[in-house]
């Protein structure tokens, strides 16, 4: 049995696509399964999904947009200085760039400011707003923040500075008293799509202010949309599709320099943004002042862009190194807490960089599937500050809310949160959160979930059908890259790959399908040829030497079948199991037991073992079959260690026994140390077989032996050679070796399964 890491949840839908619609859009079976799972089944919805490049709503329907436009125009006409106040992530720097460039095109006197994550934190800063007032700014426009800046906005407006808020984050119970609020979720307006990112809102304002916006605005809005993980639907989808088309047609200088530093020279898609561009723009704000990223996006000079991109890449490499170092330290702590039974992991240490703790928390959650909090201990400020990440079944915001009295400040949502608390409260918070987890959630309820778009038939997994999925791009939040379930796959071969052997490459018998299972190389000991498994993953096309074949990027595997593993070869080392209490070992009756989980063949074996190792060869096949009928383990390992094999030596013929006896009878006595080799030559057998014959004679008392002198016992009772215990033991040993050591593994596996099913 292979236990799945995730709980597989299949999406269900009652709506199906009609045959006429399938024909009209040439929808393949894989496309059909995905569209139906996502509820996109009508002709109109599919037409919009596949054929319409832009769904752009009327900007006039956004809250306060005309009031904001009039105030901006007033400031431009009066040459009043305007400050664009941004944020330090990729969405923040792209939205800042869009609005600053818009105002410049209108002839405004404009500056921009991005707060520092560490000294100022997220959102409006009272100090920054006062500085803007002191410098003569008359209008502040926030981008990607501001909806929670009540105090700071009130303060600066009392000084005579108007504030226009453009934001997309969740609103509180009250709105700030700003001059204007442009927000797609504003309760007094009915904008058709509520889930724009900060750059998307900035793009809408730019559209309202300018007669025609430049192409790179779409590109930057596309980056913000993907990087900020907003739903890939409706207007967001249109922004991304148009932005991707434009970036591949005429790439902005800044992005070209950024990708050049990343050694990326392929076509750009949403994954390029999500895994290459977005993380680099985010890296600057995670470690230092994000203004560098905004400066890069705003330049049109190739030399300057290259210079700034090099600095951004430096921060990105530094970010990677810091993440790696902190993750390694946190993993050791996490492992200890998991072993201790902790259900909510609270990991903390001095001098952990606050800017990357969210990334580390996500990696711990991915490895241990427990809600995790990572904190930096700052003794100078006497507080602990960090990030928390959750699993799908548990709301991090709600969980932290139960312990609000221990926390100075926190904010977040279902999946993630940031928080600050006194150092002396850290252990108390850890204990309290674990107590809540223990009381409210059973261990089996914490298994993480993976939502499967469709279980598909193997005959639909073709290169042509997989290629058709490209028509559904771009993928993103709420329109994720499809996850498929493939059942009853037969493993042809599995091997660990990569420099550290930490990935798995699996060949399946069906459809010439290849599977890649990232970061699961340690599971090579669970997977053997001819096993049947169910798997979930993403389907791709593997291209190699001009050949194109289906490929499954495996997310998880599962099997209810008993697993049998062949470790009979001396080149195969039995894996070290994490615990011995769930593993039993079968040993030869002549061996000494080393621990309570070792059993002799034929002994009763408790039924609660998950693993069973046939460590040594049994005496007889009957003993082996007796033990098989006691085994209920889901994983069986056959090793059958032994000092010497006799199978290929065989057993002497009865005529050879007679010839040997006659020789001994004629000689009366023989000194074996002197004549043994001559006897072997005379009998035409190997010396070890002569020794066996003499042991049989001794067992039947046909001869006596004293200090190497062999004599015939003329008084011995006549007995059949085959009645000897030694003779029968060799027969049993040859049978055991033939069946257990030298049969091919599929045949042995089937024979063992049949024996397990026999009635006792």
Whether the predicted pLDDT of 163 surpasses 70: yes
The distance of Cα 155 from the centroid of its chain, to the nearest Å, equals 47
Residue 760 has pLDDT above 60, yes or no: no
Mean residue pLDDT across the chain: 93
Burial class of residue 699 (count of CB atoms within 10 Å of its CB; 0-12, 13-18, 19+): middle
Is 464 a residue whose pLDDT tops 60? yes
Supply the pLDDT for residue 581: 79
Q: Following CA atoms 247, 249, 253, 259 in sequence, which dihedral angle do they give, to the nearest 10 degrees?
A: 60
d(CA 146, CA 123): 6
Distances (CA, A) of 7 to 10, 371, 455, 483, 595: 10, 17, 15, 13, 36
Q: With contact defined as beta carbons under 8 Å apart, do 273 and 226 qualify?
A: yes
Beta pairing partners, 550: 541
Q: Could you tell me the sign of the dihedral formed by the alpha carbons of 581, 587, 589, 594, in that order?
A: negative
CA distances from 676 to 93, 409, 664, 686 (A): 92, 91, 11, 10
Q: Is residue 47 scored above 70 in pLDDT?
A: yes
Q: Which of 313-322, 394-403, 437-446 has the highest mean pLDDT?
A: 313-322
Of all residues in the chain, the percent with pLDDT exceeding 70 is 99
- Confidence band of 324 (pLDDT split at 50, 70, 90): very high
Measured over the CA atoms of residue 367, residue 370, residue 376 and residue 379, the dihedral's sign is negative
Q: Give all strands of the β-sheet with 409-412 in edge-to-edge order.
A: 345-350, 372-378, 383-389, 416-422, 409-412
Mean pLDDT of 192-213: 97
Say yes or no to pLDDT of 470 above 60.
yes
How high is the pLDDT of residue 53? 63
- Is 421 in a helix, a strand, or coil? strand
Lowest mean pLDDT among 24-28, 580-584, 655-659: 580-584
What number is the average pLDDT over the span 98-112?
A: 98
pLDDT in tens, 407-427: 998 877 788 888 999 999 999
Model confidence at 578: pLDDT above 70 = no
pTM above 0.85, yes or no: no
> Residues 211-260: pLDDT tens digits?
999 999 999 999 999 999 899 999 999 999 999 999 999 999 999 999 99
DSSP 297-360: HH---HHHHHHHHHHHHHHHHHHHHHHHHHHHHHHHHHHHHHHTT-SSEEEEEET--GGGHHHH
Q: Are 605 and 631 in contact (CB under 8 A)?
A: yes
- Hey, is 437 helix, strand or coil? helix
Report the pLDDT value the prediction gives residue 529, as an integer from 0 to 100: 83
């Amino acid at each position: 049995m292979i236990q799945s890491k995730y709980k597989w949840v299949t999406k269900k839908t009652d709506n199906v696509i009609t045959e006429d619609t399938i024909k009209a859009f040439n929808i393949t079976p894989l496309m059909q399964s995905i569209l139906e799972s996502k509820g996109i089944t009508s002709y109109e919805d599919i037409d919009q999904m596949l054929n319409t490049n832009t769904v752009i709503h009327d900007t006039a329907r956004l809250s306060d947009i005309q009031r904001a436009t009039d105030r901006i125009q007033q400031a431009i006409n009066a040459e009043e200085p305007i400050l664009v106040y941004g944020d330090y992530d990729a969405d923040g720097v792209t939205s800042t760039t869009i609005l600053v460039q818009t105002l410049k095109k209108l002839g405004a006197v404009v500056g921009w400011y991005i707060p520092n994550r560490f000294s100022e934190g997220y959102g409006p800063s009272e100090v920054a707003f006062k500085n803007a007032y002191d410098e003569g700014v008359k209008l502040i426009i926030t981008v990607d923040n501001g909806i929670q800046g009540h105090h700071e906005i009130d303060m600066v407006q009392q000084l005579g500075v108007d504030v226009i808020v453009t934001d997309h984050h969740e609103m509180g119970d009250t709105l700030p008293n700003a001059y204007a609020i442009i927000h797609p979720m504003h309760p007094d307006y009915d904008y058709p799509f509520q889930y724009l990112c900060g750059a998307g809102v900035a793009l809408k304002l730019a559209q309202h202010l300018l007669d025609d916006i430049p192409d790179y605005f779409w590109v930057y809005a596309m980056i913000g949309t993907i990087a900020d993980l907003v739903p890939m639907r409706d207007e967001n989808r249109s922004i991304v599709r148009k932005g991707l088309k434009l970036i591949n047609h005429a790439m902005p200088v800044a992005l070209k320099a950024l990708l050049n530093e990343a050694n990326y020279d392929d076509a750009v898609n949403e994954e390029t943004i999500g895994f290459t561009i977005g993380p680099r723009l985010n890296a600057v704000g995670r470690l230092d002042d994000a203004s560098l990223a905004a400066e890069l996006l705003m330049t049109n000079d190739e030399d300057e862009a290259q210079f700034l991109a090099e600095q951004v890449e430096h921060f990105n490499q530094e970010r990677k190194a810091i993440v790696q170092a902190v993750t390694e330290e946190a993993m050791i702590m996490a492992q200890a807490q998991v072993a201790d039974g902790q259900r909510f992991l609270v990991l903390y240490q001095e001098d952990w960089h606050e800017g990357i703790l969210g990334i580390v928390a996500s990696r711990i959650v991915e490895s241990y599937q427990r809600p995790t909090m990572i904190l930096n201990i700052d003794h100078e400020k006497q507080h602990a500050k960090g990030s928390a990440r959750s699993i799908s079944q548990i709301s991090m915001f709600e969980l932290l809310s139960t312990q609000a009295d221990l926390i100075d400040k926190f904010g977040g949502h279902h999946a993630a949160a940031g928080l600050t608390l006194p150092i002396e409260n850290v252990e108390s918070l850890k204990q309290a959160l674990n107590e809540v987890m223990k009381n409210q959630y059973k261990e089996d309820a914490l298994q993480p979930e993976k939502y499967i778009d469709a279980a598909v038939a193997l005959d639909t997994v073709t290169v042509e059908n997989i290629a058709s999925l490209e028509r559904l791009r771009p993928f993103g939040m709420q329109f994720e890259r499809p996850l498929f379930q493939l059942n009853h796959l037969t493993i042809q071969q599995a091997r660990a790959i990569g420099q550290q052997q930490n990935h798995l490459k699996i060949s399946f018998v069906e459809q010439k399908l290849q599977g890649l299972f990232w970061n699961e190389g340690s599971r090579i000991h669970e997977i053997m040829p001819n096993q049947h498994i169910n798997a979930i993953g993403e389907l791709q096309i593997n291209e190699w030497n001009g050949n194109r074949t289906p490929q499954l990027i495996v997310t998880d595997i599962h099997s209810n079948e008993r697993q049998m593993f062949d470790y009979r070869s001396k080149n195969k080392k039995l894996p070290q199991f994490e615990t011995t209490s769930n593993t039993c070992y079968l040993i030869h009756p002549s061996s000494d037991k080393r621990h309570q989980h070792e059993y002799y063949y034929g002994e009763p074996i408790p039924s609660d073992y998950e693993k069973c190792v046939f460590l040594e060869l049994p005496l007889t096949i009957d003993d082996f079959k007796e033990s098989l009928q006691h085994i209920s383990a889901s994983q069986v390992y056959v090793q059958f260690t032994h000092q010497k094999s006799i199978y290929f030596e065989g057993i002497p013929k009865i005529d050879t026994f007679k010839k040997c006896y006659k020789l001994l009878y004629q000689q009366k006595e023989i000194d074996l140390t002197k004549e043994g080799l001559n006897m072997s030559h005379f009998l035409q057998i190997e010396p070890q077989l002569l020794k066996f014959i003499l042991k049989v004679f001794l067992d039947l008392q046909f001869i006596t032996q004293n200090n190497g002198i062999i004599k015939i016992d003329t008084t011995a009772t006549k007995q059949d050679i085959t009645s000897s215990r030694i003779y029968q033991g060799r027969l049993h040993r040859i049978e055991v070796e033939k069946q257990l050591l030298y049969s091919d593994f599929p045949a042995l596996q089937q024979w063992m399964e049949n024996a397990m099913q026999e009635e006792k």
